[in-house]
Amino acid sequence: MGLNRDAQNLSRLPETRASGFLHFCPPFSPLPVRTVYSSPAAALRDALRHAVERSGMSSLGVLHQGVPSPATLTGTDATAQAARIRRQLDRLAPLPRALLVVAYAPQALKCSCGARCCSGSYPNPEWADAMRVALAHVSTLLSGHAVNERLHRAVVANALTRTKETTVSLAQRCGVDRHTVATHVSIIEADLTGTRQTPGRFDHATTRIDALLREAGIVADEPRAQAA
Ligand SMILES: [Zn+2]
């Protein structure tokens, strides 16, 4: 049947395989359909929460759902809106796109399938993929330092989701000396979220998606009455 043959276009083919899900988990609350957002953050949060189940579903997500299909979108206005936002996001280069996904996609997806083996949530494969892209980049910044993926993962997530965590807490959580933590934090943060003088990669990504979403009429300062 070629389940993944048209995976690229699944977001435009709603309800492709809506039937036949035995262990289908409906993790999405209905997306509030809005024509215009006041910020790219709000638009991205909505879109990334809504249409996470797309092509490139990780094996973990597949296992959890018990079905080998990436298609779980339903044909609604909300889906169309999420697709419009994602189309702009997909115009960015892989790294800036990944940074925005790490910042605004849910890290875990809720699941209400009720299966005995289900813990009620599972890692969002889209977020995990984006984090992998971010970590590959970060490792190039720290080539002279010992690789500690656990630490880098925590620092990247904290920086992009604006989460404050002390170096002591990070050091304990990742089993690393806190001076090492401080060094890695300052290098990673300077690159991603910038310094007082210089914007970081995440700032540039935000500027770019803001421009694209405004150009597409999805983000605007003044809410407009009419659909674009
Ligand atoms: Zn489940």
Rounded distance, CA 76 to CA 207, Å?
29
CB atoms within 10 A of CB 38: 13
CA of 121 to the centre of ligand 1 (A): 7
Q: On the CB side of 103, how many CA atoms lie within 13 Å of its CA?
A: 23
Look at residues 143, 84, 113, 89 and name the one whose alpha carbon lies nearest to residue 21: 113
CA of 122 to the centre of ligand 1 (A): 8
CA of 155 to the centre of ligand 1 (A): 29
CA of 193 to the centre of ligand 1 (A): 35
CA of 115 to the centre of ligand 1 (A): 6
SS3 205: helix
CA of 107 to the centre of ligand 1 (A): 16
Residue 156 has pLDDT above 70, yes or no: yes
The average pLDDT across 34-52 equals 84
CA of 204 to the centre of ligand 1 (A): 37
Q: 9 Cβ partners below 8 Å, 6+ apart?
A: none
Q: Tokens representing 220?
A: 């605007």
CA of 63 to the centre of ligand 1 (A): 10
Question: DSSP assignment, residue 5?
Answer: T
Instruction: Output 139 or 30, whichever has higher pLDDT.
Output: 139
Label residue 30 by pLDDT band (50, 70, 90).
Answer: low
Report CA Rg, the chain: 19
SS3 108: strand
Convert the pLDDT of each residue in 53-112 to its tens digit.
443 344 444 445 543 333 333 456 778 889 999 999 999 999 999 999 999 999 998 887
CB 4 within 8 A of CB 13: no
- Return the axis-axis angle of helices 178-192 and 149-160, rounded to nearest 10°: 50
CA of 65 to the centre of ligand 1 (A): 6
CA of 11 to the centre of ligand 1 (A): 22
Inter-CA distances, 53 with 126, 175, 190, Å: 8, 34, 33
SS3 109: strand
Convert the pLDDT of each residue in 162-201 to its tens digit.
999 999 999 999 999 999 999 999 999 999 999 999 999 9
CB 177 within 8 A of CB 171: yes
CA of 21 to the centre of ligand 1 (A): 12
CA of 157 to the centre of ligand 1 (A): 25
CB 70 within 8 A of CB 10: yes
- Whether the predicted model's global pTM rises above the 0.75 cut: no
CB 15 within 8 A of CB 72: no
